[in-house]
C-alpha cells in the first residue's frame, strides 16, 4: 500500500484528478447530490426538479435519501482502490439565502486498497452555493476539513448534478472537481430524465486530461420531486503516463426515504454555519494539503517506534524546566505522526495505557500522543482505557482529558465518558463530565446528535437535579464546552448566583447566538465583580471580531483591574488583523 501511495504522489495531480473529480473519489466515496442549475434553451420549461431546492424558494423541507455507492479504480491495469458505501444523505435549503445544507448521515464505508478519510470530516455538513440563476457554483466547507474529504464531498454534490432545461432535450455545461463538461439531457415520458456525459470541455488548471462518459437516470413523482436517481460513469486519463493509464468506474444509487418540515432548531443550526464556513469553491486535487501532510507525518515518524518514544519521554524527567516542555511537546507531536501513519502503533499505545503497571508519566505521554493523532482509532483506544478494569485511575484521568481535545465523538466515546462521569473518583468524574460537554459540541458540529446520543441533554438533566453549587459549577463548565443553545437559559439563570457567575460567564463563549454577545457585553460593562468581568473577556476571545473589537477597545479605556485588562488585551491581540 505504501508503494502505491508513493506512486500517486510522484505524479502530481494525475490519479488525484481522476479519483477526486468526475465523482471518482481519491480515498473513499460518499453519495452524490442532485443540485439545481439554470439551463439555457427555448420552449416552455417544466417545473424545476431538485433535491436541493432553489435558494430563492422559502421551502423548509428536509429530504433524506438512501444511498449506495461503489467504485473501482485501476492504475496501469492494477486495482488501486475498491470502495463500497451505504448510508443516507439529507438536504435542507436555508430560507433567505442562496445556500443549501447537505449532510451525510450514518455512513457505512468499506475501502480496500486505499486510505479512508476522517469520518468526522465526512459527517460535517457542507453548504451548497448557487448563483442567482440557481446554478451550483461551489461548496462551502468547515475550515478544519482536510483536502481528501473536500475532494470527496465535492464529488458527492457534483456527480449527479441535474441542470433544468426546456423542452424534450437540452444541453448544458456543468462543473465538477476536474473541470467543465458537456451534459446532454433527454426527457423520456413524464417521469424519467436521462443525462449523458461526454468528456470535458475544459480541465481545471494543472490537471491531467481525462476522458469521461456516463449516464444519469432520474425518476420524479407527479409533483416533480425526485424519487430516485442512478448513475454509472467511467473515466480514464486521455494520454499515457509514467505509470500507465488511470481508470475508474463509479455507480451511485439514490432513493427518497423521508421528507419532513425542518424544525426551527435545524434551521438555526444550518444558518449558524454560514458565518463560519469558507467561501464556495469546487475542490480540486492539490498536493499541498492531504498528500503533503501524509508525507510530513511519514518523515516525522521515520525511524521511530512507540517503545523508543516512551523511553525518550521518560528521560525528560529531571531536565531543566524550560527545556522539558519543548522536548515533551516535540515527542507528543512525533507520537501523533507515528499513530496517524501506523494504526498498529495506536493499538499498542492503547494496550499500554490500559495496563496496571503504567506510571502516571507514561500515561500522560500515551494519552497525549493519542490526542495528538486525532484519529478515530486513537479516540477508541482512549475510550477503551476509560472502560478497562485493568487501567489505573491516573491513566483514566489522562484518557478523559485527551478525549475532550479530540475532533472525534461517537457512541463508543460518549458511552465511555458517561461511565467515567459516574466514577467514584471525583477527579475522574469531573474530567469525564467536562469531556462529555466537548463531545456534545463535536457531535453537533458533525451532525451526529440524535436520540440516544445526546450528552448535552444528559448534562442539562443532571444540572436540574444537582443538589449543591459545587456540582452545578462543574456542570456549567461542561455545558460551556458544548456550545449548545439549549444551555443558554441555564447559564443565564446561573449568572444571578455569586458562586456560579464566573463559570457561567465563561460558559457563554461558544454559544452561536447574538443573545450571548449581548449578555456578555452587559456583564463586561456592568458587573461589579472583577472575576466575572475577567471571565467575560476570556469568553470574548472566542467571539466574532466584527462584533467585539469596538467593545474591547472601549473596555480597554475604562477598565481598571489589572487581571481584567490582561484578558481584554489577549482578546484584542487575537482579533486584531495581521
The answer to whether 187 touches 169, Cβ cutoff 8 Å, is yes
* DSSP letters spanning 98-150: SEEEEEEEEEEEEEESSPPPPHHHHHS-EEEEE-TTS-EEEEE--TT--HHHH
Res 288: pLDDT: 43
Rounded distance between C-alpha atoms, residue 82 and residue 86, angstroms: 14
137-146, 349-358, 490-499, 503-512, range with the lowest pLDDT: 137-146
| pLDDT beyond 90 at 496 | yes
Q: What is the pTM of this model?
A: 0.55
User: Which of the four pLDDT bands, split at 50, 70 and 90, describes residue 50?
Assistant: very low
Average pLDDT, the chain: 82
What tens digit of pLDDT does each residue of 5-29 get? 333 333 333 444 444 443 322 222 3
Query: What are the residues facing 235 on neighbouring strands?
Result: 212, 248
d(CA 23, CA 152): 8
Distance CA 564, CA 534 (A): 5
Residue 245, all three cell numbers:
493509464
pLDDT in tens, 274-327: 888 988 888 665 544 455 567 778 888 888 999 999 999 988 887 887 778 888
pLDDT in tens, 120-152: 888 889 998 887 766 778 899 998 887 777 877
Q: Please, what is the angle between helix 360-373 and helix 321-341, to 10°?
A: 50
Q: Residue for cell digits 491581540?
A: 573
d(CA 421, CA 425): 9
CB of 400 closer than 8 Å to CB of 417: yes
Classify strands 169-175 and 162-163 as parallel, antiparallel or unpaired.
Answer: unpaired
pLDDT band at 238 (very low <50, low <70, confident <90, very high): low
Distances from the Cα of 298 to the Cα of 285, 286, 338, angstroms: 20, 18, 8
pLDDT at 368 over 70: yes
pLDDT band for position 38 (50/70/90)? Answer: very low
- SS3 percent helix, strand, coil of the chain, rounded to 5, is 45, 20, 30
**Residue 187 burial class via C-beta count within 10 angstroms: exposed 0-12, middle 13-18, buried 19 and up:** middle
β pairing state of 126-130 and 99-112: antiparallel
The DSSP call for residue 485 is: G
- Sign, CA dihedral 405-290-121-541, equals positive
Asked if the model's pLDDT at residue 230 lies above 60, the reply is yes
Residue ranges of domains in the chain, CATH in brackets = 2-286 (2.30.230.10), 303-453 (1.25.10), 456-578 (1.25.10.10)
Whether 448 contacts 410, CB under 8 Å? yes
* Number of residues assigned to the chain: 578
Burial (Cβ within 10 Å: 0-12, 13-18, ≥19) of residue 190: exposed
Tell me the pLDDT tens digit for each residue of 150-206: 877 887 778 777 887 788 998 888 888 778 888 899 999 889 999 998 878 888 776
Rounded CA-CA distance 369/306 in Å is: 10
Enclosing H/E stretch for 426: helix 426-446
Phi, psi of 560 (to 5 degrees): -115, -25
For residues 101 and 131, give the distance between their C-alpha atoms in angstroms, rounded to a whole number.
Answer: 15
Q: CA-CA distance, 230 to 34, in Å (whole number)?
A: 11
Amino acid at each position: 500500500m505504501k508503494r502505491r501511495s508513493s506512486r500517486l504522489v510522484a505524479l502530481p495531480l494525475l490519479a488525484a484528478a481522476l479519483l477526486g473529480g468526475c465523482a471518482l473519489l481519491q480515498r473513499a466515496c460518499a453519495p452524490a447530490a442532485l443540485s439545481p442549475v439554470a439551463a439555457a434553451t427555448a420552449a416552455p420549461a417544466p417545473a424545476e426538479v431538485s433535491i436541493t431546492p432553489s435558494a430563492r424558494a422559502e421551502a423548509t423541507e428536509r429530504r433524506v435519501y438512501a444511498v449506495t455507492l461503489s467504485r473501482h479504480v485501476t492504475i496501469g491495469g492494477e486495482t488501486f482502490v475498491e470502495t463500497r458505501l451505504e448510508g443516507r444523505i439529507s438536504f435542507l435549503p436555508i430560507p433567505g439565502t442562496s445556500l443549501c445544507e447537505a449532510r451525510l448521515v450514518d455512513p457505512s464505508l468499506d475501502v480496500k486498497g486505499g486510505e479512508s478519510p476522517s469520518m468526522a470530516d465526512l459527517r460535517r455538513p457542507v453548504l451548497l452555493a448557487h448563483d442567482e440563476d440557481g446554478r451550483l457554483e461551489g461548496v462551502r466547507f468547515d475550515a478544519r476539513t482536510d483536502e481528501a474529504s473536500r475532494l470527496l464531498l465535492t464529488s458527492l454534490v457534483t456527480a449527479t448534478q441535474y441542470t433544468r432545461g426546456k423542452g424534450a432535450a437540452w444541453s448544458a455545461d456543468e462543473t465538477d472537481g476536474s473541470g467543465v463538461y458537456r451534459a446532454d439531457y433527454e426527457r423520456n415520458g413524464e417521469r424519467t430524465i436521462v443525462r449523458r456525459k461526454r468528456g470535458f470541455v475544459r480541465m481545471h488548471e494543472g490537471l491531467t486530461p481525462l476522458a469521461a462518459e456516463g449516464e444519469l437516470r432520474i425518476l420524479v413523482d407527479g409533483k416533480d420531486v425526485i424519487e430516485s436517481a442512478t448513475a454509472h460513469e467511467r473515466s480514464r486519463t486521455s494520454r499515457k503516463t509514467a505509470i500507465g493509464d488511470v481508470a475508474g468506474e463509479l455507480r451511485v444509487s439514490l432513493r427518497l426515504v423521508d421528507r419532513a418540515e425542518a424544525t426551527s432548531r435545524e434551521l438555526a443550526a444550518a444558518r449558524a454555519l454560514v458565518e463560519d464556513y469558507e467561501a464556495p469553491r469546487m475542490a480540486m486535487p492539490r498536493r499541498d494539503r492531504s498528500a503533503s501532510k501524509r508525507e510530513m507525518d511519514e518523515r516525522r515518524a521515520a525511524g521511530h517506534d512507540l517503545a523508543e518514544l516512551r523511553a525518550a519521554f521518560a528521560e525528560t524527567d529531571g531536565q531543566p524546566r524550560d527545556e522539558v516542555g519543548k522536548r515533551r511537546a516535540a515527542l507528543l507531536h512525533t507520537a501523533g505522526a507515528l499513530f496517524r501513519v501506523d494504526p498498529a502503533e495506536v493499538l499498542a499505545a492503547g494496550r499500554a495505557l490500559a495496563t496496571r503497571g503504567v506510571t502516571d508519566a507514561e500515561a500522560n505521554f500515551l494519552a497525549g500522543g493519542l490526542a495528538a493523532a486525532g484519529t478515530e482509532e486513537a479516540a477508541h483506544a482512549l475510550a477503551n482505557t476509560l472502560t478497562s478494569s485493568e487501567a489505573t485511575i491516573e491513566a483514566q484521568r489522562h484518557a478523559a482529558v485527551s478525549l475532550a481535545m479530540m475532533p472525534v465523538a461517537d457512541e463508543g466515546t460518549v458511552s465511555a465518558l458517561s461511565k467515567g462521569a459516574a466514577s467514584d473518583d471525583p477527579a475522574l468524574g469531573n474530567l469525564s463530565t467536562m469531556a462529555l460537554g466537548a463531545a456534545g459540541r463535536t457531535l453537533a458540529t458533525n451532525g451526529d446528535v440524535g436520540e440516544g446520543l445526546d450528552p448535552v441533554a444528559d448534562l442539562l438533566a443532571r444540572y436540574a437535579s444537582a443538589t449543591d453549587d459545587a456540582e452545578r459549577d462543574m456542570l456549567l463548565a461542561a455545558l460551556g464546552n458544548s456550545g449548545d443553545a439549549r444551555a443558554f437559559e441555564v447559564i443565564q439563570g446561573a449568572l444571578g448566583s455569586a458562586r456560579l457567575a464566573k463559570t457561567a460567564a465563561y460558559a457563554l463563549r461558544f454559544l452561536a447566538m447574538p443573545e450571548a454577545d449581548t449578555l456578555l457585553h452587559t456583564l463586561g460593562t456592568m458587573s461589579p465583580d472583577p472575576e466575572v468581568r475577567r471571565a467575560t473577556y476570556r469568553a470574548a476571545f472566542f467571539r466574532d471580531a466584527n462584533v467585539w473589537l469596538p467593545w474591547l477597545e472601549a473596555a480597554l479605556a475604562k477598565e481598571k483591574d489589572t487581571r481584567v485588562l490582561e484578558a481584554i488585551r489577549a482578546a484584542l491581540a487575537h482579533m486584531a488583523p495581521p
